[in-house]
Amino acid sequence: MWTARGLAEALEQDRSHFLVGWQDKEIAGFISGRQVLDEGEILNLAVKPELRRKRVGEALVEELLEVFAKDRVVKVFLEVRESNTAAIAFYQRMNFRLTGKRPAYYKNPVEAALVLLRTEEVSASTG
Active-site positions read 79, 91
Residues of the chain by 3-state class (helix, strand, coil), percent to 5 = 30, 45, 30
Total number of residues shown for the chain: 127
What is the C-alpha to C-alpha distance for residues 1 and 113, in angstroms, rounded to an integer?
15
Mark out the alpha helices in the chain (DSSP H runs).
Answer: 4-12, 56-70, 85-93
Q: Please list, in sequence order, all residues whose beta carbon lies within 8 angstroms of the beta carbon of residue 98, skipping any fewer than 6 positions away.
A: 114, 115, 116
Phi, psi (5° rounding) for residue 126?
A: -75, 140
Phi, psi (5° rounding) for residue 51?
A: -110, 5
